[in-house]
Homo-oligomer: A and B are copies of this chain.
Amino acid sequence: MDETSQKIIDVTMALVRDKGYVATTTKDIAKDAQINECTIFRKFKGKKDIVLSGMKQQEWRANITPDVFKNVKWNLQEDLEMFMNNYLDRVNADFVNLSIGLRAPQIYDETAALIMKIPEIFIQYLTTYFEKMHDKGKLAEMDFHSLAITIFSSTFGYTFLKASFEDKLIDVKQKDYVEQSVKMFINGIQKNS
Binding site for B on A (CB under 8 A): 18-20, 22-23, 76, 100, 103-106, 112, 116, 119-120, 123, 137-140, 142-143, 145-147, 149-158, 160-161, 164-165, 168-170, 172, 176-177, 180-181, 183-193
Contacts and interface: CB of A to CB of B under 8 A. Distances in A.
Given A104-B23, A157-B156, A189-B139, A112 B165 contact: yes
A103 B188 CA distance: 36
Contact of A185 (B76, B112, B139, B184): B184
A190 B18 CA distance: 42
A188 B181 CA distance: 11
Contacts of A184: 142, 147, 150, 185, 188
Nearest to A150: B181
Contact of A189 (B155, B186, B191, B192): B186
Number of chain copies forming the complex? 2
Contacts of A105: 18-20, 23
Contacts of A103: 20, 100
Contacts of A120: 169
A160 B158 contact: no
B180 A147 contact: yes
Given A140-B189, A191-B139, A153 B153 contact: yes
A77 B177 CA distance: 22
Residue among A120, A189, A193 with most chain B CB within 10 A: A189
A150 B140 contact: no
A170 to B, nearest CB: 6
Contacts of A181: 150
